């Protein structure tokens, strides 16, 4: 559990929902490589964080400042554009 909290919330959400970066790219319109970069380095524009927030249901501030929201539970986040067979 300790290591899980160090993982970016976007990555935790992807794992929880069994979504790959190419699948999230299709949903959000953000390239898969950019999504992987955000998960690793937490560097993106506010616009991209807002798009990902809309796609995943994770609040923008959690995406932008993951170290301050390390205990945020992504399991309750509902995506707006996710296929109906995928549940949170």
pLDDT in tens, the chain (88 residues): 455 558 999 999 999 999 999 999 999 999 999 999 999 999 999 999 999 999 999 999 999 999 999 889 999 887 665 543 333 3
| Residue 13 forms part of a structural domain | yes
Residue 55 domain flag: yes
Could you tell me the CATH number of the domain that includes residue 32? 1.10.260
Domain of 15?
Answer: 2-76
Domain count, the chain: 1
- The verdict on residue 58 lying in a domain is yes
Where are the alpha helices (H) located in 1-88, listed in sequence order? 2-6, 9-16, 21-28, 32-41, 46-56, 60-64
81 lies in some domain: no
Asked, for residue 50, whether it belongs to a domain, the answer is: yes
Quote the pTM value.
0.82
């Amino acid at each position: 559990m300790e290591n899980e909290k160090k993982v970016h919330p976007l990555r935790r959400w992807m794992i929880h929902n069994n979504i790959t970066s190419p699948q999230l790219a299709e949903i959000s319109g953000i390239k898969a490589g950019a999504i992987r970069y955000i998960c690793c380095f937490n560097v993106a524009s506010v616009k991209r964080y807002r798009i990902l927030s809309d796609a995943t249901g994770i609040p923008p501030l959690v995406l932008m400042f993951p170290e301050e929201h390390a205990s945020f539970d992504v399991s309750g986040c509902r995506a707006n554009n996710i296929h109906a067979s995928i549940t949170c």
